[in-house]
A and B are shown apart, each in its own frame.
Chain A
Amino acid sequence: MTLALFLQHLANALSLGSLYALIAIGYTMVYGILRLINFAHGDVFMLGAYLAFYSVATFMLPWWGALLLAVLLTAAFGVGLEWVAYRPLRDSPRISVMISAIGASFLIENVAIVLFGGRPKGVTVPDVMNVKLTLGGVSIMSVSLVIPIITFVALAVLLWVVQRTRVGMAMRAVSTDLDAARLQAIDVNRIVSFTFGTGSLLAGVGGIMWSYKYPQLNPLMGVMPGLKCFIAAVIGGIGNIPGAVLGGFLLGGIELLTIAFLPTLTGYRDAFAFVLLIVVLLVKPSGLLGGAAVEKV
């Protein structure tokens, strides 16, 4: 393999990894606060892509207007989802909440199939995102360069919010102990809504970027990326935002580089993440950057 080819694969891996990272952040934030796998996160991702598509195709908005509108709507949808499907179960066993999450995920997917149709839709990629950049034999589309930038900006902003602002302090408090936080006069429901809003917003951005990178939409497009990004969050240490980003990059890198070096394994691509998950869970369940959790009796 030549150096240029290797760099090409590496560039692709970075681009895919940063996309995974963007979605993994949402998983990790929600899990950090509520100890809940938001199974519907991947479907929120799908919804973001569809909303942007319809904003352009039906309402003739310019692409940036569509992006803005879709992202805001997705964030609102995430808040609403928590309100309907998770808030009533705040004090229920975790299994019930998880079943509710699975139910919500299937509901969104099936409503999407009914509303949007099961046939894949082609996305018109805005010209800015569709420029081919070449540097020393490595060529990528401009969208592949935009995604890592978005991911790192999002990471920086989130770290600032979580570590430096009052909302962030409240988030950390809720994450440590929900009941104790409530006793400190923290409005837990507002913090949870804020978390879901932010996570869904990033999922929306991720979905739209995904649709620019792979310009085809279908109602089940969020399932696989959703599962993989959850795995990325687990690899990095769930509940840890930089960990989610690290996990996203690792997963993207392992997926693409394995295929690059061992092309016979291409068909098994979707299984890598799950094998990695089982290995990580067995070797270091708290993930790479996660602290060891103490089991309370």
Chain B
Amino acid sequence: MRPKRTHLYTLAALALFTGLLAVADLTFDSFTLRVLDLCAIYVVLALSLNLVNGFTGLFSLGHAGFMAVGAYVSALLTMTPEQKEMNFFLEPIAPWLAHLSMPFVPALVVAGLLAAALGFLLGAPVLRLKDDYLAIATLGFAEIIRVILTNTQNITNGALGLKGLPRYATTWVVWGCAAASVAFMVLLGRSSYGRAMKAVRDDEIAAGAMGIDVFRVKVVSFTVSSFMAGVGGALLGSLLTTIDPKMFTFMLTFNIVLIVVLGGIGSITGSVIASIAVTILMEALRFLDGPLDLGVVQLEARPGLRMVVFSIGLMAVVLFRQRGLMGNREFSWSMLSRIGLLPRAGAADGAPGGKHGVA
């Protein structure tokens, strides 16, 4: 058991953060609140990419595809028949879809499950590939999804996208999902499955020799990551209330890769901190793109100078500090005591510290 004091710190940090969220929810203007919510969504997405990239060592670039599936599924399940009719003016919506509707939480689960099913179907054959081949195959998959979404006019409304999605993704929902993802990743990291994933990452052949079913571990990791990406996409769609196929280009995957690399591949706290930092910076540096740009997320193909800064940041991290912010370590309270910010706890502990990095 770890010393009691760190548990207290953790509880205090959680309570403080929940309090801050409550204050933010009540007092922030809608724009700031949206940025805050976006941070949480990026936490979910970054963790899901970190699960395959950092934990299991599979370099997947298909995240935008799974997100797109999640976003479209939850959008089509939560929109009312009238909203659907308004959107589909070029070609009427497929009859079986027109009256399908369910509350947000089940829709979120269905979105995740469908993305996971797709991840499983793709992963089963593609995960036999290694490194760069896997990367390019998953990237190709995301492109295929985007082309399909653009062309199935009576299901997805094609290139026009869907507008006026009901906004269920409130601050509490998105941060709840982020907290659940963090908790899941921490528990997974300590479980035998998580350790098997890390063993596969470090040395596949040795892991196989130790009796780990390497292929199964890879498929499970990929499928779970797809689930999280699907949920993240669904949340993003609900937050922005507008989705179209152009949103889910490689640019979106790039943003998530950026976050994971900056935070440190394999570090949960690193991903959390980097998600928040990058999302806020993306907004804070918006002035670089000129005064006319007032949108909330920049997903179009014209990001300009702001994206130059982020590309340079990514290059700099890869060239000069490959470990990113946290390496593959996790935040722990003993880290703070070591640099003298906290009184020293009894024993040094390097165990994953969970959510406190957020506060």
Contact = CB atoms under 8 A, between A and B. Distances in A.
Nearest to B128: A282
B197 to A, nearest CB: 16
Contacts of A223: 250
Contact of B140 (A107, A113, A231): A231
A271 B142 CA distance: 10
Main secondary structure of the interface of A (DSSP, over half): helix
Contacts of A181: none
Contacts of A234: 133, 136
Nearest to B302: A118
B261 A94 contact: no
Interface stretch (A53-61, A84-92, A138-146): A84-92
A130 to B, nearest CB: 29
B318 A89 contact: yes
A211 B353 CA distance: 55
Interface stretch (B71-79, B165-173, B303-311): B303-311
Interface string A29-50: 0000001110000000000000
B97 interface: no
A104 B136 contact: no
Contacts of A37: 132, 135-136
Contact of A103 (B141, B150, B315): B315
B281 interface: no
Given A100-B319, A107-B311, A281-B133, A270 B303 contact: no
Nearest to A264: B151
Chain A interface size, as a band, is 35 or more
A106 B144 contact: no
B318 A278 contact: no
Contacts of B15: none
Interface in A238-297: 267-268, 270-271, 273-275, 277-278, 281-282, 285, 297
Contact of B143 (A89, A113, A267, A270): A270
Given A99-B261, A100-B315, A267-B147, A114 B140 contact: no
A89 B319 contact: yes
Contacts of B305: 110, 114
B144 A275 contact: yes
B308 A107 contact: yes
Given A267-B147, A285-B129, A274 B141 contact: yes
A242 B53 CA distance: 34
Interface residues of B, number: 40
Contact of A268 (B59, B139, B151, B312): B151
Contacts of A271: 143-144, 147-148
A111 interface: yes
Interface in B113-136: 125-126, 128-129, 131-133, 135-136
A114 B289 CA distance: 9
Nearest to B265: A95
Nearest to B322: A96
Contacts of B250: 223
Contacts of A270: 143, 147
B287 interface: no
B124 to A, nearest CB: 10
A107 B139 CA distance: 19
A88 B319 contact: yes
Contacts of A282: 125-126, 128
A220 interface: yes
Nearest to A282: B125
B193 to A, nearest CB: 22
Contacts of A110: 303-305, 307-308, 311
B319 A278 contact: no
A212 interface: no
Contacts of A267: 147, 150-151
Q: Which 7 residue pairs spanning A and B have beta carbons closest together?
A: A274-B140, A107-B311, A271-B147, A267-B151, A103-B314, A110-B307, A103-B315
Given A92-B322, A274-B140, A282-B125, 5 more contacts: A35-B132, A37-B136, A231-B136, A234-B133, A275-B144
18 contacts: A89-B318, A95-B59, A95-B131, A98-B132, A103-B311, A103-B314, A106-B310, A107-B312, A110-B311, A113-B302, A118-B302, A227-B140, A227-B143, A273-B140, A277-B137, A278-B137, A281-B129, A285-B133
Interface of A: 35-37, 85, 88-89, 92, 94-96, 98-100, 102-104, 106-107, 110-111, 113-114, 118, 220, 223, 227, 230-231, 234, 267-268, 270-271, 273-275, 277-278, 281-282, 285, 297
